[in-house]
Structure 1
Amino acid sequence: MVEQQGRVVAIEADAIWVEATGQQGCHGCVARSGCGTGLLSDYLAGKSRIRVDLNSWNPRDLSLNDKAVIGIPEHTLTAAAMLVYLLPLACLMLAALVGEALAGERGAIIGAAGGLVLGAALVHWHSRRNRTNPSYTPLLLRIESHQPD
Structure 2
Amino acid sequence: MIEERGRVVALDDSGIWVETVQRSSCNGCAAKSGCGTGLLGDFWSRASQVRVAVAPPALDTVRLHDTVVIGIAENTLASSALIVYLLPLVTLVLGAVIGQSMGTEAWAILGALVGLALGALAIRLYSHLNRANPALTPQFLRLEREYACTTIPTTEAR
TM-based fold match above 0.5: yes
- Structure 1 spans left out of the alignment, 5+ residues: none
* Cα offsets for 1:81-107 (capped at 9, x unmatched): 001000000000011111101123121
How far does residue 146 in structure 1 lie from its aligned partner after superposition? 4.5
Q: Which segment is superposed worse, 109-118 or 56-65?
A: 56-65
Counterpart AA for 1:40: W
Q: Which segment is superposed worse, 1-10 or 49-58?
A: 49-58
Partners of 2:56 and 2:34 in 1: CA distance: 44
Describe the SS at the equivalent of 2:23.
coil
Work out which of the two has the higher radius of gyration on C-alpha atoms and give 1 or 2: 2
How far does residue 11 in structure 1 lie from its aligned partner after superposition? 1.4
User: TM-score normalized by structure 1?
Assistant: 0.84
* Cα offsets for 1:83-138 (capped at 9, x unmatched): 10000000000111111011231211110011001100110111111111111110
User: TM-score normalized by structure 2?
Assistant: 0.79
Counterpart AA for 1:24: R
Name the residue aligned to 1:53: 53
Name the residue aligned to 2:82: 82
Name the residue aligned to 2:109: 109
8 Å contact 2:14–2:56 — kept in the other structure? Answer: no
- Structure 2 spans left out of the alignment, 5+ residues: 149-158
Q: What is the percentage of aligned positions where both structures have the same residue?
A: 41
Partners of 2:58 and 2:42 in 1: CA distance: 37
Describe the SS at the equivalent of 2:105.
helix
8 Å contact 2:8–2:64 — kept in the other structure? Answer: yes
Q: How does 1:1-149 map to 2 (within 5 A)?
A: 1-21=1-21, 24-25=23-24, 29=33, 36-41=40-45, 44-45=46-47, 48-55=48-55, 57-148=57-148
Partners of 2:140 and 2:106 in 1: CA distance: 51
Q: Which segment is superposed worse, 12-21 or 54-63?
A: 54-63
